[in-house]
Structure 1
């Protein structure tokens, strides 16, 4: 029997019996890994509570993309995510003023909780794509640390601003129509604008979901790859095109409801330790 697997199993057993407050945080363990694990690619757990075996690194520069903020080492994903980026960036390169896409965070080399930022992006199936048209695909590593994306929102996200273009609409539509995509998060005003502008088949709009932020980038979430075990899909979006729901978000931005004085204060989320994640994640870290 493989001694590394035995060690991983013993580690998981010990952690399961160790009080959570005395265990190292999962984000510290996964955030310190610099390379992928030598396993068959497999997302394990949920988008916000899991890890990634056998990740593939998105090349820093490709024919129609560049990975940004390389110092974060978050350009790792499931192979199907890398293939999706290749497909979508090729389409983006057909749009006027776009030579492809600037790719933000995907996941860490072994997925898992991050030291900063996202609570999701743990399975290598989430990817942030900059709203900034990728005109220059020859940026140096240093330039990619300094350049910033551009905001698309106006009135705190109730509307799009002058940076929004038909190309953004087309790229998001292309992404939403991809069978591998589960949903896409954008700021509410963008979803409402897309609902107003779309004149054809509207079924793809179901995957475009309003969420806070997401005006410098849009967030694509892929479904669990076919045949994978231990990967937990998010529930399906509600039926319909979701346009009325997005309009409700916009109205709440423009006319915020009064705070409920009886609402209980939000509970702070406990930081995960390794024992909170699927047991296979100990093996992902052990090699």
Structure 2
């Protein structure tokens, strides 16, 4: 029986143990005094769960609509990294994600400009929607790496208060003068890992890497221009093998993506006129437990 099937059965068993049959309106056991129902706000439930589930490590659902069973914690301090903003309790992830982070940290420490990396948000102890911030980072396969070189040795208080450095100029069309081979080294270290599917970073950085890359340029395909991401870059792993509950993202378009990044830059410098026929944006609805895979109920309850 697959893990996803086991968790589904567990979820039904939990419902039955509460005195009823499986129903979208019947609650599971409470979490820290909060009743877990299908209509419950998922971010409140996952954002207030302080520890991971006692289950095998497995991502469930999509990067922006899912959860993580059996999360592992990135140690707050390692030989070549420090986890930042520890009060958020977001240094949890899938084991493959933590391994990728540590490999990037080793590449950073080998560069003369740095002793390693500062690691931003990965996921919550059971993944899921966060109380604040990210829409993704829900299944333990996303991680933020600060772009600034790391001296390491920061205290807990410093990790809460130190500001990350921005490397964008002209709203992200260009890099600042502080952009260097160090930033390109750590981005490339992540992009050349076969487990990594995408990297998000501001457009000017992608254009700079396109101009500077030599030799094999295939890794540039994974580096995708995106809004923000000028203090850190965002690593996204593919769904691991033997993770049937994980919903993959479509692969990036073929090619190195450099022309697309250059178009982003042109649009920043000379914004196209607004489309008068574009529909008005609608506010995003908060995710409920009913929006997440059924396995996420068992992840919460364990």
- Specify if TM > 0.5: yes
Are 2:19 and 1:40 aligned?
Answer: no
Q: Deviations over 1:22-59 (max 9, x none)?
A: 92200000001000000000000000000000000110
- Which secondary structure state, in structure 2, belongs to the residue aligned with residue 14 of structure 1? coil
Structure 2 equivalent of residue 102 of structure 1 = 118
Tell me what 1:128 maps to.
144
Counterpart for residue 210 of structure 2: 195
2:13 counterpart residue number: 6
Deviation at residue 246 of structure 1 after TM alignment: 0.3
Counterpart CA distance in 2 for 1:139 and 1:30 is 28
Structure 1 partner of 2:94: 78
Q: Is the 8 A contact 1:8 1:282 kept in 2?
A: no
Unaligned runs of 5+ in 2: 1-5, 28-36
Residue 49 of structure 1: which of 62, 65, 76 is its match?
A: 65
Structure 1 equivalent of residue 240 of structure 2: 225
Aligned partner of residue 144 in structure 2, secondary structure:
strand
> C-alpha distance in 2, partners of 1:75/1:45?
20
Cα separation, partners in 2 of 1:258 and 1:22, compared to 1, 3 Å: same
- Once residues 286 and 110 of structure 1 are traced to their aligned partners in structure 2, the CA distance between those partners, rounded to angstroms, is 10
> C-alpha separation between the residues in 2 aligned to 1:7 and 1:142?
41
Q: Is the contact made by 1:16 and 1:275 (CA closer than 8 Å) also made in structure 2?
A: no
For these two proteins, the number of residue pairs brought into alignment is 284
Structure 1 alignment gaps of length 5 or more: none
Counterpart CA distance in 1 for 2:10 and 2:196 is 38
Once residues 88 and 97 of structure 1 are traced to their aligned partners in structure 2, the CA distance between those partners, rounded to angstroms, is 14
Post-superposition CA distance 1:138-192 (Å, at most 9, x none): 1111110010110000000000001210111111111100011000000000000
Q: Is the 8 A contact 1:8 1:286 kept in 2?
A: no
TM-score, normalization: structure 1? 0.94
What TM-score does the superposition give when structure 2 sets the normalisation length? 0.90
How far apart are the structure 2 equivalents of 1:257 and 1:48? 29
> Are the counterparts in 1 of residues 15 and 26 from structure 2 also a CA contact under 8 Å?
no
8 Å CA contact 1:44–1:51 kept in 2: the answer is yes
Give deviations 1:56-80, integer Å, cap 9, x for gaps: 0110000100000000000000011
Cα distance in 2, alignment partners of residues 195 and 87 from structure 1 = 23
